[in-house]
Each structure stands twice: as structure tokens, then as C-alpha cells.
Amino acid sequence: MKQYRCWAEIDLEALRENLAWIRHRVGPAVKIMTVVKADAYGHGLKQIAALLMQSGTDVFGIANLTEAQSIRAVGRGWPILMLGACLPFEVETAVREDVMPTISTLEEAEQFSQAAARLGKVARVHLKVDTGMGRLGVEPKDAPALWKRISALPGIKIAGLYTHYSSVEDDPTFSRAQKRQFHRLLKLVPHDSLEYLHANNSGALLFERDTHFNTVRPGLLVYGVLPPANRRIQSELQDHVRPTLTWKCHVSLVKTISRGAALSYGRTFVARRSMRVATLTAGYGDGYLRAASNRARVLIAGEFCRVLGRVTMDQMIVDVSHLPNVKSGDEVVLVGAQSNRTITANHLAQWCRTIPWEILTAITARVPRVYRGSQAA
């Protein structure tokens, strides 16, 4: 990609295959709600939504109404669930545009009922149950009463019931307790005819395979990234999903620095010997986190190169002492494969002491997304 300084290549074929593997895993009867919030985890919402629509997604999970509008602009008719709580001023738009809200309280349900009456529509909602995440949802003990009250409201239909695991990658005991609470509730509410009954995000798809219910809710796995976990993954998915995103930039300058020379702001790296260093065309303005300073590696000419000193807004410096032929214009891989070496979003996340979700969604708007694969527009 000669024309770009820093860009992300998205492999749509990989995305399609990842969804096919998830479909294979859960079977034809279970709906797949692909989570495409935050610009489809940094991959570009419209392109990804289009591909997922062609590849068998059943429903989309989003974080705000702008995302819903982007999906509608690509294709009408797909069910959409807003995973966060709707703000009062968003209620009418959500009803008008058939975006299913997540409901935790009677007050929210009443707002939707009233908006539906005003618009002459029926609001289809998902009731969320808080089994341990603490972010949204009704307490399990209060859920049956809330279910009854909501069911009695005009203009509203409970289309879904769901919960969310808080530490499924690491804590089987707590996850089991969450599961128990949800199952106990299912005995108390008439859930048989629910269109959507769901709990499993990517981690739970790998670790809690008995709670697929009739819908699963993967994000990270769709993009081919495994959630970091202390539990041992024993799902075939870990061997088959592959990353859809490769993040690249260029070498802009190569120079030799003397022993004792310091690099970048704050002079946090001091050369112990004469070194060849390369300046790269990516920085935190592109979303390459400053936390990677002095910790991360990139790939140049198929070899790992250490990040030296602080990452700056548009540039960063790496050690190329071991690569005598590196020159301005050479391609650099920040996340992805080059020759037979790979840096995953999980590797970069570990170097930055963060999580792959943040690595992907941190890639900024100035980084062009370039789509590859037969379905690329």
C-alpha cells in the first residue's frame, strides 16, 4: 500500500470463514448476534455489516443509534439490539427505527411503551438480568415481577431475555454461579416462545458451551481474535478462527545513533552501543498506544524489532541494528504476519498491559481500512 503512511488491511474472506466456524460450532438452530459496536471493533462498520449480512448473521449488537443507522444504510430489515441502556432522548428514535433496546427497569419500559403508543408501533425489547456483571440489568430476584409488569404495558413486547458473563475467561466458579442464577430465573418466567434467549459472548462460546440457548453474542471471535484467558480453551474454534485485521506502516528514515544517545521524548531510552534505528510512520495519533513505548515489537523484513523510547503522535522509533538492508519505504507490520512471524492483537495488548478489544478499537479514523477478499467493494 504505497499510498498510505499507516493503514489496516481487513481480510473479508477470513471474516466470512470465522462466522462460518461459529455457525458450525453452534449449529443452524442458534441465532448469531454479531457484535459490531465501536466501528465493528475498529474494522469499519459498513463494510463489515455488509459482509456479515451476506454471510449469515441473524442480528446485530450495537452501542448507539448512529451505529444502527449505519447498519440500516447497508441493508434494511436486520434485527438490531442496543446493548447499552437507551438515554431518554433516544427512546423515540429507537422505536421509530426498530432498534430493540436493553431494558433493566420498569421506568425504561414505560418510556418505550409511551413512545410506541405515540408512534403507533410495538417496541420489541430485551430484558437484561444482572447475574454478576453489575453494569445493567435487573436483579434476578426482581426479574419475574418486572417481566409481569412489562408484559402488561401496551405497545411493548418482550422479544429477548439475556445476561452477561463478567469473568468467563478466568473464573469457572463465578461463571457457574451466574449460569445457575439465570437457569433458576428461566424456571420462573415463560421464556419458551422468546425469539432471543442469550448469554454467550466470545469467551463463553469457548468456555460455557451449555449456555448457547437460542442466540449467541460474539464480538472478538468474529474478528478472529481469541479472548485472553486463564482457562484452557478446548474448542475447535481456537484452531480455526483467524485474525481479519493486519495493521501496517512504513519505515520513513533509517539512521545510526552513537553510544549514549537518547531517543524520543523524555529520553527514556539511552543507547548502550552504536545502533541503527528506524523511524516509522505510526504513532498514538493512529491508535498505537503510548503504553507500547520501550515494550512492544514490530515486524520488518520478517524480523522482530524493538520499540525504542516513547511512541509519539505520528512517529515511533525501532531498533533495526540486526537488519542491515532496511530502508525508507519498507513495510512494517504492527499487528499481523510477515514472512513466518506474527504479532497478534493479544501480543500487542500484553506489551501495552491492556486487552485486544482496546488495541483494535483504539485504531483511529485517520488509518484507512483497506478491504481484501472477493467481497471487498
Q: 155 or 228: whose CB is closer to ligand PLP?
A: 228
Find the shortest distance in angstroms from Cβ 341 to ligand PLP. 26
Answer yes or no whether residue 220 interacts with ligand PLP by CB under 6 A: yes
Give the range of 22-30, 199-207, 290-298, 329-337 binding ligand PLP by CB under 6 A: 199-207
341-343 and 369-372: which strand pairing? unpaired
Which residue of 55, 131, 202, 293 would you call a contact of ligand PLP, by CB under 6 A? 202
Q: 35 or 71: whose CB is closer to ligand PLP?
A: 35
265 is catalytic: yes
Residue whose Cβ sits closest to ligand PLP: 219
User: Any idea which residue has 449467541 for its cell?
Assistant: 216
User: Please, what is the angle between helix 12-26 and helix 45-55, to 10°?
Assistant: 50
From the candidates 141, 148, 265, 327, give the one annotated as an active-site residue.
265
Question: What cell was used for 22?
Answer: 461459529
Residues 87 and 69 sit within 8 Å (Cβ to Cβ): no
Of the candidates 224, 348, 329, the residue with the CA atom closest to the CA atom of residue 287: 348
Q: 70 or 166: whose CB is closer to ligand PLP?
A: 166
Helix ranges, 106-201 (H): 106-119, 143-152, 172-186
From the candidates 31, 37, 179, 248, give the one annotated as an active-site residue.
37
Question: What cell was used for 357?
Answer: 478489544
Which residue of 201, 281, 315, 338 would you call a contact of ligand PLP, by CB under 6 A? 201
User: Any idea which residue has 512517529 for its cell?
Assistant: 315
For the chain, the 3-state helix, strand and coil shares in percent, each to the nearest 5, are 35, 25, 40
The partner residues of 128 in beta bridges, in order of sequence, read: 162
Which residue of 22, 71, 83, 318 would you call a contact of ligand PLP, by CB under 6 A? 83
Q: 226 or 316: whose CB is closer to ligand PLP?
A: 226
User: Any idea which residue has 461463571 for its cell?
Assistant: 175
Answer yes or no whether residue 203 interacts with ligand PLP by CB under 6 A: yes
Number of residues counted as binding ligand PLP (CB under 6 A): 13
Give the range of 211-219, 270-278, 299-307, 358-366 binding ligand PLP by CB under 6 A: 211-219
Q: How far is CA 205 from the centre of its chain?
A: 15
Which residue of 42, 227, 309, 356 would you call a contact of ligand PLP, by CB under 6 A? 227
Angle at 131 between CA 126 and CA 132, to 5 degrees: 125
The partner residues of 161 in beta bridges, in order of sequence, read: 127, 197
- The phi and psi torsions of 308 (rounded to 5 degrees) equal -110, 130
Find the shortest distance in angstroms from Cβ 39 to ligand PLP. 13
Residues 136 and 84 sit within 8 Å (Cβ to Cβ): yes
Answer yes or no whether residue 126 interacts with ligand PLP by CB under 6 A: no
Answer yes or no whether residue 224 interacts with ligand PLP by CB under 6 A: no
Find the shortest distance in angstroms from Cβ 375 to ligand PLP. 22
Map residue 45 onto helix, strand or coil: helix
Task: Give the DSSP H/E element, type plus range, for residue 158.
Answer: strand 156-162
121 is catalytic: no
Binders of ligand PLP among residues 142 to 171 (CB under 6 A) are: 164
Binders of ligand PLP among residues 305 to 344 (CB under 6 A) are: none
Q: 323 or 348: whose CB is closer to ligand PLP?
A: 348
Interacting residues toward ligand PLP by CB under 6 A: 35, 61, 83, 164, 201-203, 217-221, 227
Q: Catalytic residue positions?
A: 37, 265
